[in-house]
Structure formats: structure tokens, C-alpha cells
Homo-oligomer: A and B are copies of this chain.
Amino acid sequence: MSLTYRDAGVNVARAEDALSKVRERIARTKRPEVIGEVGQFGGLFASPGADKVLVATTDGVGTKLEVARLLDRHEVVGADLVHHCVNDALAMGAEPLFFLDYFATSKIDPNVFSRVVGAMADACASVGTALLGGETAEMPGMYAPDTYDLAGFLVGVVDREKILGPQRVREGDALIGIPSSGLHTNGYSLAREIAARRAMHERSASLRDVLLAPRDELGGATLGAALLAVHRPYLAEFRALRAVADIHSIAHLTGGGWEGNLPRSLPEGTAASIDRASWEVPAVFSLLARLGDLEEMEQFDTWNMGIGLVLAIPAEAADAALEAVPGAIVLGEVVPHSSGRRVVFG
């Protein structure tokens, strides 16, 4: 009997079928700049003017994928992927224009695929970003059964003279924090390891049991639900803050936590002086820290600890910023740096 591509585990029609279920939701992300239809060799998008600068970013969602899969919450990671990219782009001062996704798995499950990509499309629509294209890869044997990986690519636009960055920041600038919704999409390998060790410790408990147990610290909610809070997009807050203050730079607190990200938004020779009492670390972080017996610095080097975005603005604009963005906090200020860590907690 002759062999076919289908025998080898690849079914080109399966990807097409899965995509057809979400085509309408993808169509709703269309912006006036989009030219033509999905399904061409490349997506077409009218270029902004030559006085503009394109901002390109790519991200994944890490092992939050495993938590989403275990608890059957695939929509979460679809939205996460878009929001993560949007936040990275606005950290450069950019508005999002278009997004593309890469979805890879061993065998496409049309139900899971349409839930993930449908959620991506809805997230794109809600932040006004065109879902311009994507690649769906069926790679037999490459991924464990039922697992998949995601990558997102986003292009945004910023006026050349409005590019944010360390070069704009001055000593004495106020550092404004905006709360996160939880771990966002970083530090899940550590969170999972903590939960897995807990499961071993509690003998008959499975990882799922640990994730689904109601927790007093979380007001009766579960660790699983807390871990699957959607990565918060900061586009509305960025716009509101930009309208009242001259933003100098923005740090998106992702992989590497505070020390891994905040210095990227500061000029050399400066540090961030952060008042630890200026906000309360959300319960999910203290719960994980307790379960894992984590040192505090390790937590701040891995997780966002309740602050997803840190903006440097002129000190005199701080009051206006707090008024413009409900929930925003003055975390501290930019100070001189001599040696050692560049994020100093006091």
C-alpha cells in the first residue's frame, strides 16, 4: 500500500478546517490599512508615513501554556500572547498596528486551535490591532500529545520624536507603577515547580489537586485560577497617561522580573529607588513564596510582584498621572547609581 502525507501524520485540510471556524472573528480585526484577504503568501498593510518609526516585537507565553492545558483554559494564552506583544510595543511609545501568530503542535485539535486563535483575534480586536496572518504547523512527534507552542509578532508605530527610552530619563523622575493582574506570562516554570513539589509533599495530591484547592490566602479562590489571570494589556492606561504627562520611558516587567527589566528603561549611571511599602504584593505571589519557601530577592528577580508596567515621568507630573490612571502608584524615583543592583528597594 502506498504511503501518503496523511499517513505520516500531517493533514493539511485539518489546519484549514480549524481556521475556518475563526475566520469571522479574524475578519473583525481588519483595519482600513489592511489590503486584500488572509491566505496570501504575506499579509498586506499600508505603510505609515516616512516620519514614523515601526516597532517590532516577538513573544511567547512560556510554560503558562502547561497550566492552561491542564485546566482546559486555552483562551487565556491566546489573549496573553497579544497583550504581551502590545505591552512591549507601547514600552517604546508605540501604538499597535498588526499582529501575526505561530501555532505549532504535533496534531491539530481543531477545538483547541479555534479557542486559542479565536481568543487571539478577540484580543486583537479589543486593542485595535489587525490579525494579519499566521502559520499553523503540524509537526508529528515534535510535541508531546495535546501540547502546543505559540509565538506572536506585532508591529506598531511611533512618531520619530516620541520614541520612549532611557535617553529621555532624568534623575529625580518619578517612577509610576500600574498593577498587574498576576504573573502575566513569566515565571511559570517556577510556579509550576512549586506546585509540583507541593503535590509530591502532600503525597496523594496531583498537580491538578494543588492547582484546584481553594486557598484562604486567595479569599477561597484557587491557585490555578490566579495563575490563569489574563496578562493585562496597558494600552488604555498608556494613552491616558500620555495625554497628561510627558512619558520618558516605560519598562514592561516580564521575564527576569524587576532587575531584568526596569534597568532597560534607565540611562547608565542611574538606578531605581523603589519604596516597597508603596504597594501591597498580591496574595498569589506571597502564597507561591510561602509554598516554595522563596527568598524575597528571588521573587523580585522572577515575577512582577503585582506591578506590570513602570513609567518614568517628570516628578511634577506625578499627581496628574495618578489622576489619569486609576490604580496607578508612585513607586519611587530615579536616583544616581554607583555599583551593585540597579533596582534598590527601601
* Residues on A facing B (Cβ under 8 Å): 1-5, 7-10, 12, 35-36, 39-60, 62-63, 65-66, 88-89, 91-92, 94, 98, 100-102, 104, 132-135, 137-144, 147, 149, 151, 153, 155-157, 160, 163, 165, 187, 189-190, 192-194, 197, 250-252, 255-256, 260, 264, 292-295, 298, 301-302
Chain B contacts for A52, CB-based, 8 A: 47
Pairs A–B under 8 Å by Cβ, sample size 28: A2-B293, A2-B294, A2-B295, A3-B294, A4-B295, A5-B301, A10-B189, A35-B163, A40-B165, A41-B57, A41-B252, A43-B56, A44-B53, A45-B54, A47-B50, A47-B53, A56-B100, A56-B132, A58-B100, A60-B135, A60-B139, A62-B137, A63-B142, A65-B139, A102-B153, A138-B189, A141-B189, A151-B151
Chain B contacts for A7, CB-based, 8 A: 193
Chain B contacts for A62, CB-based, 8 A: 137, 139
Q: Are B104 and A9 in contact (CB under 8 A)?
A: no
Expressed in whole angstroms, the Cα–Cα distance for A192 and B193 within the complex equals 35
Of all A-B residue pairs in the complex, the 7 with the closest CB atoms, nearest first, are: A41-B91, A8-B193, A102-B151, A153-B153, A42-B57, A42-B55, A47-B52
- Total copies of this chain within the assembly: 2
CB-based nearest B residue for A48: B47
Q: Are A45 and B53 in contact (CB under 8 A)?
A: yes
Q: Are B189 and A139 in contact (CB under 8 A)?
A: yes
